[in-house]
Structure 1
């Protein structure tokens, strides 16, 4: 597994035991420090009160004033402690979910990439090879003299095909590992050869099978209806004689099984009177390498691609058929949302505090509802689009938050705070117009607070 598919580096993941132990250790240390500070403050108040024991009046005033402040401080610290616990716990929860979702997205992308970028069946155009003698000149030393020598050497040359009529039928199936698609191809090609040379009549017809196959069956090469036999195993060169000015036809047929693409490689030859018809008997077939077919016909679950090149056409890239897949879009949206979820929760809780009287029980329930909604969104987003999923979850959230108010006016305030502080910010991180939607959510939040505290209280 690649490192990119294992999660987001540097984020805590509570599914890892070592990080879970570290988190628990730090939580215990922080709690002990917090308790120590509270106890120290109480002890300091008690010591000052004890030092004023001789002055009863001052002791009563000081103790009464500071005991009230201390009780208020304890009450406020309880709310602060609860919010910190919810924030820290929520952060570790959402960071863990973000890592898990990132891992799931990367695994999905890797699976799709494997299905389209695996091995391929690549058929090379056959070559007509011949050997000729060509003069060449070299120098040598004879009796301490430089002598120029004219000689002949044998060189290999190639003759272009005069015509190619190719038909390939492709069926798609799933390999035994059930990881990617494979192609079953039925290949038939007729190649026309014309001897345009005046002094050569001995040639080799080299027609190799496709590269990348896992199974090759019924491979045959025929000349004018007569099957040619291989002289050596693995040698796909067939000698033949053709007098100057004459022409002949070769037919190559086979059935092959291989990767999830089939392409034809012209092997740097000039194509003349070339016609390739590839029939893909499956859905989502498309042409490969950007060489646009001359004609495309669709018939239900079958698509026929035809390339026609009449005279002296050079095609550099292999062209053919592959199985197209839907584009992987909007990756990283849910992990980003989960990482920012604690900030959204703090925004929402602050709006609720400034709009409603909040008890510890209400804060705990509201926090549980918020993070439960995000947890639900995380797993529903794997099967449906996150935007409609969040809208449905938002309706449930509003229905639950309505009960937070003690009367209809307080319930309305809770609804407005939830829309401005939770629903809109989460939606903003799911849609393309994030900045605009977050700005509207912020404007709605401050407008609500202004109306609630300035205009409603002055009536």
Structure 2
């Protein structure tokens, strides 16, 4: 996981011990408060009954009525407490899963970003430099008088490279520790130099190795088949003589390793008789910087890119090869769904309460089934399409919800409630047109409740 990956701000995560202890203390306080409220109500009823002890008839009616109401209240309190427990536990479970999924998405984005950004191997075009004497004038003061002094200084000038024939072979080594991939480069280039000057015959051929390499080996510069020696370590300048109207050739070869991109930079020079062939021996290779190659050949194991510039072409941006990756789409959808999952559960469980008789066992089973399905969806969505995964899970959810009904009509009612309150809302949060899907689910829920309670589709038993 990337060290830069961050969780969702303000969302609790049960994998953090401090947040877990804080949650436990809050639940304990809320539980104690509810228990005291119930006990206080029971004591109030007992006191009222004691105050009516001299009126046996009124006492009997009062006790029987409030005992029935108190038992109903306790029964309702059990259901309320169970639903609240499922909501609270489900919220913290889903918030933790949301954070985990957000971490995973960020790490995936950071890993892909390493393939198209960051380190790179950048080979600069060689330069042919020569030195000319240029006169210049300075002024100084001698004995209070301004005196002009005429002097000469050395000025660097550059000769255009007459031709470049370059071939580079690229191999990729993926899954390197600390980096997404590295390139292994086998570089060979032939450069032609023509002396078009009349009175200059001493030049310096400057051809530095690529920037950003981590390993450079077998670096060699040859002139007309003769290897040139470096005068100083790390100095990649080679002096040579060339008479006017004559031409010579240089061959540069090396092997290098470096970042997951290789580009060639013209450094503002005009490219003439230029030909670059880049052979990428791995899948997913593409051309960089938007400089379209003249030819692309693809076979099973490699891709060959060819750039050809015949006459005085200026290329502003470095161009070359990088590893193309599939775009990462739909990020943030699963964390949003998981954060809204408790509200969807409450939607579904209220539909069930208003549609079929619900026992404590059925409520507990419904909560377990719902959050188990979301947990399964969270991990299936990592390696397959989330909409397709939820479609498969929905069949399991519908099959299990059928058992919530005591008879055929009740089971059918539970099935409709599950479609309107669970399947469609979750699916609506996964697709791009969420508002339309959630609106349809809400309309279906309202129509269903109207059919039950206004048109008496079947009698809801307590």
Q: How many angstroms does 1:108 deviate by? A: 1.7
Q: How many angstroms does 1:221 deviate by? A: 1.0
Counterpart secondary structure, 1:425: helix
1:409 aligns with 409
Measure, in 2, the Cα distance between the counterparts of 1:370 and 1:203: 78
Are the equivalent residues in 1 in contact too, given 2:2–2:107 (CA < 8 A)? no
Q: How does 1:161-176 map to 2 (within 5 A)?
A: 161-174=161-174
Q: How does 1:69-148 map to 2 (within 5 A)?
A: 69-148=69-148
Q: How does 1:312-331 map to 2 (within 5 A)?
A: 312-331=312-331
1:431 aligns with 431
Q: How does 1:231-242 map to 2 (within 5 A)?
A: 231-242=231-242
Counterpart secondary structure, 1:455: coil
Mean CA deviation greater in 374-383 or 63-72:
63-72
TM-score by length of 2: 0.96
Q: How many angstroms does 1:175 deviate by? A: 6.3
Measure, in 2, the Cα distance between the counterparts of 1:189 and 1:4: 40
Pick closer, same or farther for the CA change 1:4–1:81 going to 2, 3 Å.
farther
Q: How many angstroms does 1:230 deviate by? A: 1.2
Q: How does 1:215-226 map to 2 (within 5 A)?
A: 215-226=215-226
Mean CA deviation greater in 36-45 or 447-456:
447-456
Measure, in 1, the Cα distance between the counterparts of 2:354 and 2:26: 31
Deviations 1:239-265 (A, max 9, x none): 011112221111111122222111101
Deviations 1:360-415 (A, max 9, x none): 11111111110111111111111211111111111011111111111111111000
Mean CA deviation greater in 304-313 or 124-133:
304-313
Are the equivalent residues in 1 in contact too, given 2:127–2:158 (CA < 8 A)? yes
Q: How many angstroms does 1:4 deviate by? A: 5.6
1:361 aligns with 361
Counterpart secondary structure, 1:167: strand
| Residue 211 of structure 1 pairs with residue 208 of structure 2 | no
| Residue 348 of structure 1 pairs with residue 335 of structure 2 | no
Pick closer, same or farther for the CA change 1:445–1:176 going to 2, 3 Å.
closer
Deviations 1:341-362 (A, max 9, x none): 0000000011111110111111
Mean CA deviation greater in 324-333 or 212-221:
212-221
1:449 aligns with 449
Aligned length: 459
1:420 aligns with 420
Measure, in 1, the Cα distance between the counterparts of 2:3 and 2:166: 45
Measure, in 2, the Cα distance between the counterparts of 1:227 and 1:20: 70
Counterpart secondary structure, 1:133: strand
Name structure 2 gaps, 5 residues minimum.
Answer: none
Counterpart secondary structure, 1:68: helix
2:256 aligns with 256
Are the equivalent residues in 1 in contact too, given 2:168–2:188 (CA < 8 A)? yes
Q: How many angstroms does 1:157 deviate by? A: 1.4
Are the equivalent residues in 1 in contact too, given 2:203–2:242 (CA < 8 A)? yes
1:5 aligns with 5
Measure, in 2, the Cα distance between the counterparts of 1:299 and 1:65: 86
Measure, in 1, the Cα distance between the counterparts of 2:230 and 2:47: 107
Q: How many angstroms does 1:232 deviate by? A: 1.4
Deviations 1:62-87 (A, max 9, x none): 22222222111111111111111110
Pick closer, same or farther for the CA change 1:10–1:418 going to 2, 3 Å.
same
Measure, in 2, the Cα distance between the counterparts of 1:37 and 1:432: 46
Counterpart secondary structure, 1:5: coil
Pick closer, same or farther for the CA change 1:218–1:316 going to 2, 3 Å.
same
1:24 aligns with 24
Counterpart secondary structure, 1:325: coil
RMSD: 1.7
1:385 aligns with 385
Measure, in 2, the Cα distance between the counterparts of 1:312 and 1:440: 63
Deviations 1:43-100 (A, max 9, x none): 1111112112222232222222222221111111111111111101110111111111
Measure, in 1, the Cα distance between the counterparts of 2:162 and 2:115: 37
1:227 aligns with 227
Deviations 1:172-228 (A, max 9, x none): 223652842221211111111111222211110011111222222221111122211
Are the equivalent residues in 1 in contact too, given 2:2–2:111 (CA < 8 A)? no
Deviations 1:133-167 (A, max 9, x none): 11212221122111233322111111111111111
Measure, in 1, the Cα distance between the counterparts of 2:239 and 2:123: 21
Counterpart secondary structure, 1:432: coil
Measure, in 2, the Cα distance between the counterparts of 1:443 and 1:3: 45
Are the equivalent residues in 1 in contact too, given 2:2–2:106 (CA < 8 A)? no
Pick closer, same or farther for the CA change 1:336–1:176 going to 2, 3 Å.
closer
Measure, in 2, the Cα distance between the counterparts of 1:175 and 1:56: 86
Measure, in 2, the Cα distance between the counterparts of 1:381 and 1:260: 28
Measure, in 2, the Cα distance between the counterparts of 1:160 and 1:353: 84
Measure, in 2, the Cα distance between the counterparts of 1:92 and 1:337: 14
Pick closer, same or farther for the CA change 1:422–1:175 going to 2, 3 Å.
closer
